[in-house]
Amino acid sequence: MSHPPKPPIPSSPSDPLAMLTALGFGPDTVLMNDPKLFVDGRFLASLLVELEDELGPRHAGLALFQIGMLHGLRDAARCCRRHGEDATTTVSDSPDTTALVMSWASGLTTRRDGAMGLAGHWPECHEAAARISRLDMAASPACALSAGYTSGWLSGTLDRALVAREVECAAAGGSRCRFEVIEATSAATKRDAELAWLLSQVPFDAFRKLALRPPIERRERPAPGAAFGGDGRFDRTQPVVHIWGPVMVLPFTTLEEALGTVDMLGRDPGIGEIRSVVVDLRERPLDEGFGAAALEQVLETIESWNAQGLITGISPGSEAAIASLESSHLVLRKDLSEAIATAFQIADAQRHTL
């Protein structure tokens, strides 16, 4: 006897991923940061079955769309960031995007209602094949993960709120998986009740902010001098928050990312275990106005965690902004390895005084 799907936890403006978090698929979980779903058909097929059993078809589609959109937005942000880097900057050789093949039938067009439009298809039919392997044929287009990814990728690269909807699906008896892309504010979305409902559950601005937050890596305390070895244990070129027990390294890539990251981390129940936070400016310029104010806000938030803030990676052009900070107990270190070593010393000293 089959059990009815559990009622899903709805998203909210404060937590647009409430449903996925309740399922164990929060923004910092492996599933939400690993492209395995887009390359491993068996894994995706198993997830499709699990989500439909847990949520029912409609909310399972929503969950998949959300997962895909966050992946797409993150890949777009990473790609745009890399193309914006100086040509002499060394970056890792990891792929820029998830392996979801998209083929465009035509270039961007303007629809009669003035909205942007685009059409294409997914030639590999990856999601449709995964669905057919474990589930019955769908009654309507069902590639929600692919639609979400395409929506996120295009929204991120074109800096607009765009949504992809599947109009022909191999899992529903079609010859291929075709989609069209329209602006989320288009009148066409208002005439499609199901699409309008889905968009009401996926606030673009909130998802964009989530995508801009650096991923978090939690590791055991590194051996002395080993934090910058060539074995991948620490890659400064990647905007990743590293946590080693009581010490955190926070990359200050952009003002919005840094503020969003500390806001997210502040809601983590384990934040009280952090004793020292190294804010790595990454030799990027920081102005004396908004830049200094944003950095000071980050440092104040770190202080509210009862943690010590340290700053490293100060470029010559940022020295005036650092000097303008009001913090009287600011700890500055020239290079990152020295800052991490100092952070562990501070954390150890605080632990012995508790």
pLDDT in tens, the chain (354 residues): 445 566 566 666 567 778 887 877 777 676 677 777 888 888 899 989 989 998 899 999 999 999 999 999 988 887 876 665 443 333 333 344 567 889 988 777 776 666 788 999 999 999 999 999 999 899 999 999 999 999 999 999 988 899 999 999 999 999 999 999 999 988 778 788 999 999 888 888 888 888 877 767 766 665 554 444 444 456 666 677 888 889 989 888 777 777 777 877 777 777 888 999 999 988 888 877 778 888 888 898 898 898 999 999 998 888 888 888 866 578 999 888 889 999 999 988 876 554
Same domain, residue pair 164 and 29? yes
Distance of CA 299 to the CA centre of its chain: 23
Same domain, residue pair 296 and 190? no
Determine, yes or no, domain membership for 24: yes
Domain stop point among 182, 211, 240: 211
Same domain, residue pair 207 and 321? no
Query: Which helix (DSSP H) or strand (DSSP E) does residue 278 occupy?
Result: strand 276-280
Domain stop point among 152, 182, 211: 211
Domain region containing 30: 18-86+94-211
Same domain, residue pair 218 and 200? no
Using CA atoms, how far apart are residues 288 and 254, in angstroms rounded to an integer?
15
Same domain, residue pair 229 and 318? yes
Same domain, residue pair 72 and 193? yes
In this prediction the pTM is 0.65
Give me the number of domains the chain comprises: 2
E strand intervals along 58-215: 103-104, 109-110, 116-121, 162-168, 178-183
**Strand-strand pairing, 308-312 and 276-280:** parallel
**Strand-strand pairing, 178-183 and 216-219:** unpaired
Determine, yes or no, domain membership for 166: yes
Same domain, residue pair 287 and 346? yes
Same domain, residue pair 336 and 255? yes
Domain stop point among 211, 231, 265: 211
Determine, yes or no, domain membership for 337: yes
pLDDT of residue 89: 36
Name the average pLDDT for the chain: 81
pLDDT of 205-250, one tens digit each? 888 888 877 767 766 665 554 444 444 456 666 677 888 889 989 8
pLDDT of residue 92: 36
Determine, yes or no, domain membership for 299: yes
Determine, yes or no, domain membership for 315: yes
Same domain, residue pair 260 and 199? no
pLDDT of residue 90: 35
Determine, yes or no, domain membership for 301: yes
- The C-alpha R_g of the chain, in whole angstroms, comes to 22
DSSP code string of 193-255: HHHHHHHHTS-HHHHHHHHHSPPEEEEPPPPTT-TT-TTSS--TTS--EEEETTEEEEE--SH
CATH (domain of 286) = 3.30.750.24
Q: Give the alpha-carbon dihedral of 163, 168, 169, 173, to 10 degrees.
A: 160
- Here the tokens at position 26 are 């929060």
Same domain, residue pair 205 and 222? no
Determine, yes or no, domain membership for 217: yes
What values do phi and psi take at 236, rounded to 5? -65, -25
Q: Read off the DSSP letter of residue 168.
A: E
CATH (domain of 58) = 3.30.1380
Same domain, residue pair 180 and 197? yes
**Strand-strand pairing, 103-104 and 216-219:** unpaired
Same domain, residue pair 175 and 120? yes
pLDDT of residue 94: 39
- Percentage of residues in the chain having pLDDT higher than 70: 79
pLDDT of residue 7: 58
Name the packing angle between helices 204-212 and 144-158 (round to 10°): 80
- Comparing CA positions, the residue from 107, 3, 117 lying closest to residue 56 is 3
Determine, yes or no, domain membership for 6: no
